Amino acid sequence: MKTQRPIPADDEHRVLPFRPRSALHSPQLRNQSMAVQPRHQDNPPEPLDLSRYERPRPQPDDFRHRMLANIAAFAFTVALTAVGIWLAMSIADLRKTQDCVLMGRHDCIRISPN
């Protein structure tokens, strides 16, 4: 059986350098050693802004058409939910009636008073 040795204190607090993936492919950094280089404080980091990804729209946004499409999608979702609930209740009712008939009972069908 192998005995476990305690970890030496030098290895306990080691800082590993981090390089982005794009930096690994550049030939300048490939030849450098693994030494950590200090960051330059002269250049402030770029602000996190999404404006560089924006594209001009060919035509303005049609708010009325978008709202009508949203209302139609909501109505379709409500109708689909209602049909699903009705179908589940119908299947449960048919299963109840089938179980009743298979037990040999004769009063399984509901008769509605009119």
> Alpha-carbon Rg of the chain, whole angstroms?
35
pLDDT at 41: 57
Q: Which residue has the higher pLDDT, 96 or 30?
A: 96
Q: Give per-residue pLDDT as tens, 89-113.
A: 999 999 999 999 999 888 887 777 8
Q: Which residue has the higher pLDDT, 13 or 42?
A: 13
Phi, psi of 80 (to 5 degrees): -65, -40
Q: Give per-residue pLDDT as tens, 35-90.
A: 455 555 566 666 678 877 888 878 888 899 999 999 999 999 999 999 999 999 99
Q: How many CB atoms lie within 10 A of CB 97?
A: 13
Write the DSSP string, 3-66: PPPPPPHHHHTPPPP---HHHHTSHHHHSS-SPPPPPPSSSPPPP--SGGG----SS---HHHH
